[in-house]
Amino acid sequence: MKKLIHPVTITFVVVTLIILLPFFIKKSIPVLTDAQLRSRALSTAFKPIPITYEDLLKVVDNPENPMSKEKIALGKKLFNDTLLSDDKTVSCASCHKLKEGGDDNLPTAIGVRGQANPSHLNSPTVLNAALAKAQFWDGRAKDVEEQAGGPIQAPFEMHMTPQDVEKRLNSHSEYVAKFKNVFHENNVTFEQVRKAIGAYERTLLTRGAYDRFLEGDNNAISVQAKRGMTLFLTQGCKGCHAGMSVGGQSMQKFPLRRYVSEYIGLWFEPDVKLRESPFPFLNEGGFMGKDGSQLFRVPILRNVTKTSPYFHNGKVEKIEEAVRIMSKYQVGNEFTPEQIDDVVAFLKTLEGDVVEYNINQ
């Protein structure tokens, strides 16, 4: 008489196989020459940032808001002016520090009178944002011109209405003259404010070692960074973090994957807050992405090593942990500590300085 296998045993074996399967299915990692690595990057739209103002216009100019040097100069002045906030203490530059990665390095943005973002949202970088196809974590703004009006009006950021802005700027003869020179109208409008700031933000592109490598300098990045770049290009990262900006080109669900092993672990060491979070970190702020669907604009990775903390609510402090989370929950192939270090070395090559496009008036 044959001995039957107990159903509990079968269930245990199936669950174990599901848990262990990802550890056995690994994508092969090719060894690429510098020329092959560069060719693969360039063939997937990883382009270097332009150097000249003329080439900049070809990449970022907006037909609905044509750039000019006068408009850019006006936008720069507005970007740095606290006059656009209710209590005159906060400017665009307060949350977007250009020397520190284009963000504020805080878990959540702080506005007038010390108010925190009610959804505990982390400030995305303004650097290279003009290259993105949507703005904000939920992608609700189509471009930097539309985005520029959001924080000014948010009650927990700059707390101004369009009418407040217009009244305040129209009372300053210097601004009235500058706006008239750019827009050829007698009165300042909120739409003009958005357009001027947007034109300036379109110039905030950064270049670094990564760009020099793409342009042919094999010595611009280290051997370790090249291993990390190879991982990035061959293991699935480039699928979402694409384009000249290395991100910001699409909306993606996060996380894409969940693991049975995590739920088993919670049975023995329950953490109610973590179990209730759809993310692999606490969901402080309760934000769930576009329309509550866990869809997020893919972050721009240029200068990402300078923009800690990470993710929409700033709950991850270290770039290494952010890479581990993304490799596991998005790529589905958790990187080893050595691979994480290689990827971080590559991400550091994406650091760069704002290009001087000879547009100062």
Known catalytic residues are 157
Q: Decide if 80 contacts 72 (C-beta within 8 A).
A: no
- Three-state DSSP at 132 gives coil
Find the radius of gyration of the CA atoms of the chain.
23
Residue 310 CA to residue 315 CA, distance in Å, equals 6
DSSP string, 215-274: TT-TTSS-HHHHHHHHHHHHSSGGGTS-TTTTS-S-EEES-----HHHHHHHHHS--HHH
Vertex 107 angle, CA 102 and 110, to 5°:
75
Tokens of 271: 């953490």
186 φ, ψ (degrees, to nearest 5): -80, -30
